[in-house]
């Protein structure tokens, strides 16, 4: 039994509800035998067109047959997906089962098998692993032989839009951040430093036991979204935001609202981490923070990381109500708050790389 038969059977089976079950598909009994069924890359499309225009193309392309088996891929495609999975010798569904929605996978199957929409399909694929940030691509599928009534081979072309989409998304939120900076008395360098510290701490956690949920996307995202922690201050009245001296009770209540305002502003950001950081960066490990008095693991990990980064930098900076503290004094003050304000395990990791925080501060000093 080979993988293709299994996959098509799967689609016919109404009892199976999720494509997760594709993981359970049997491997071919004899991989050698299985690979013999795959056509060599150089011969694949030449059989139909007389030459293969995609071999040296800059566009990542792979070829599948009418049973959804991947028969070959070009160099650009292999480069794009290196580190994710092996392409040749697998079925398209096996290789990309987690990259498309269930609906899209069915649609692709229908396109190839039944000729739906003139044997053509387009959509989006998201490919991720723990080690690499998510690759987002536009996908175009069409027959290699455009004039055949019953095509047996198909081109799947990928257009990597990861950077393009990320730049577009982040530029919108950077504009919001710039707007909030017009009001907030924190300097621009503060938020850049908080990004750096948070990124570094998350990177360190990646290799530590117990932090499996931290992946390349988490590290990349926190390195941008940490800067958004106080974006909600855009809604705080100027006289409270810039007041010198202690705030009255009601002023303090209004000030605390910046967490909820930030979560509201960032609610349209596709990754929930944005909202988590804005909402929870003032929560404390012992449950005495705000706005919801969350405690311990109830506080999202991203917010616990940013809390350490933000406080470290706030202590290093001169503010209207305090002098700038040295690195050593800052660490001593924070150590007193371990297990009270800060996640103790996270604090220990921070403590082990604290010198790097100092270097990041010096490198990105306010001028």
Nearer to Fe ion, 98 or 327 (CB): 327
Q: What CA–CA distance (Å, rounded) separates 327 from 331?
A: 6
Token readout for 316 is 């290093």
Nearer to Fe ion, 157 or 231 (CB): 231
Q: Are 130 and 216 in contact (CB under 8 A)?
A: yes
Nearer to Fe ion, 28 or 232 (CB): 232
Min CB(179)–Fe ion separation in Å? 16
Catalytic residue among 69, 181, 233, 275: 233
Token readout for 104 is 């899209």
Min CB(103)–Fe ion separation in Å? 40
Nearer to Fe ion, 88 or 230 (CB): 230
By CB under 5 A, residue 276 contacts Fe ion: no
150 CB-contact burial (10 Å; exposed 0-12 / middle 13-18 / buried 19+): exposed
- CA dihedral of residues 96, 102, 103, 108 (deg, nearest 10): 30
Which range in 44-52, 88-96, 124-132, 310-318 contacts Fe ion by CB under 5 A?
310-318
By CB under 5 A, residue 88 contacts Fe ion: no
Residue 64's nearest CA partner among 100, 39, 32, 30 is 39
Which range in 53-61, 169-177, 213-221, 306-314 contacts Fe ion by CB under 5 A?
306-314
Known catalytic residue: 233? yes
Nearer to Fe ion, 141 or 277 (CB): 277
Min CB(184)–Fe ion separation in Å? 8
By CB under 5 A, residue 310 contacts Fe ion: yes
C-alpha 337 chain-centroid distance? 31
Q: What CA–CA distance (Å, rounded) separates 163 from 170?
A: 10
Min CB(186)–Fe ion separation in Å? 6
Nearer to Fe ion, 69 or 181 (CB): 181
Nearer to Fe ion, 205 or 226 (CB): 226
Min CB(200)–Fe ion separation in Å? 16
Token readout for 258 is 């910046």
Residue 89's nearest CA partner among 65, 72, 67 is 72
Which range in 3-11, 13-21, 151-159, 228-236 contacts Fe ion by CB under 5 A?
228-236
Q: How far, in Å, are 70, 94, 138 from residue 109 at the CA level?
A: 13, 12, 17
By CB under 5 A, residue 153 contacts Fe ion: no
| Interface with Fe ion: number of residues (CB under 5 A) | 2
Q: Which residue has the tokens 């990124």?
A: 199
Largest Cα span, the chain: 81
- Helix orientation angle between 273-280 and 216-225, rounded to the nearest 10 degrees: 50
Min CB(355)–Fe ion separation in Å? 22
Radius of gyration of the chain (CA): 26
Enumerate residues 6+ apart whose C-beta is below 8 A from 106: 11
Q: What CA–CA distance (Å, rounded) separates 80 from 107?
A: 24
Token readout for 86 is 């092996």
Min CB(190)–Fe ion separation in Å? 6
Considering only 88, 153, 215, 230, the residue that binds Fe ion (CB under 5 A) is: 230
Which range in 94-102, 142-150, 272-280, 307-315 contacts Fe ion by CB under 5 A?
307-315
| Footprint of Fe ion (CB under 5 A) | 230, 310
Just list the catalytic residues: 233
């Amino acid at each position: 039994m080979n993988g293709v038969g299994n996959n098509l059977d799967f689609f016919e089976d109404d009892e199976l509800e999720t494509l997760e079950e594709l993981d359970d598909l049997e491997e071919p009994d004899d991989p050698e035998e299985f690979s013999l069924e795959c056509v060599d890359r150089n011969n694949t499309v030449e059989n139909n067109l007389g030459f293969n225009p995609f071999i040296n193309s800059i566009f990542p392309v792979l070829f599948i047959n009418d049973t959804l088996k991947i028969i070959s891929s070009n160099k650009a495609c292999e480069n794009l997906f290196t580190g994710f999975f092996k392409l040749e010798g697998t079925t398209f569904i096996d290789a990309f089962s987690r990259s498309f929605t269930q609906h899209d996978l069915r649609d692709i199957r229908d396109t190839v098998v039944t000729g739906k929409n003139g044997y053509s399909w387009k959509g989006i694929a998201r490919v991720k692993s723990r080690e690499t940030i998510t690759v987002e691509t536009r996908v175009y599928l069409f027959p290699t032989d455009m004039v055949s009534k019953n095509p047996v081979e198909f081109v799947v072309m990928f257009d990597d839009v990861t950077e393009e989409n990320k730049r577009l998304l982040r530029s919108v939120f950077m504009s919001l951040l710039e707007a909030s900076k017009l009001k907030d008395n924190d300097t621009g360098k503060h938020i850049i430093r908080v990004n750096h510290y948070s990124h570094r701490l998350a990177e360190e956690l990646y290799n530590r036991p117990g932090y499996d949920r931290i992946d390349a996307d988490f590290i990349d995202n926190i390195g941008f979204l940490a800067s958004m922690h106080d974006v909600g201050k855009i809604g705080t009245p100027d006289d409270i935001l810039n007041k010198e001296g202690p705030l009255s009770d009601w002023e303090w209540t209004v000030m605390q609202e910046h967490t909820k305002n930030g979560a509201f502003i960032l609610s349209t950001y596709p990754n929930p981490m944005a909202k988590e950081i804005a909402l929870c960066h003032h929560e404390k490990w012992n449950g005495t923070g705000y706005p919801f008095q969350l405690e311990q693991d109830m506080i999202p990990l991203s917010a616990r990381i940013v809390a350490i980064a933000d406080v470290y930098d706030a202590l290093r900076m001169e503010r209207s109500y305090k002098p700038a503290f040295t690195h050593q004094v800052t660490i001593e003050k924070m150590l007193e708050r371990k297990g009270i304000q800060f996640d103790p395990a996270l604090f220990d990791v921070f403590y082990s790389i604290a010198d790097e925080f100092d270097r990041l501060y010096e490198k990105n000093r306010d001028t």
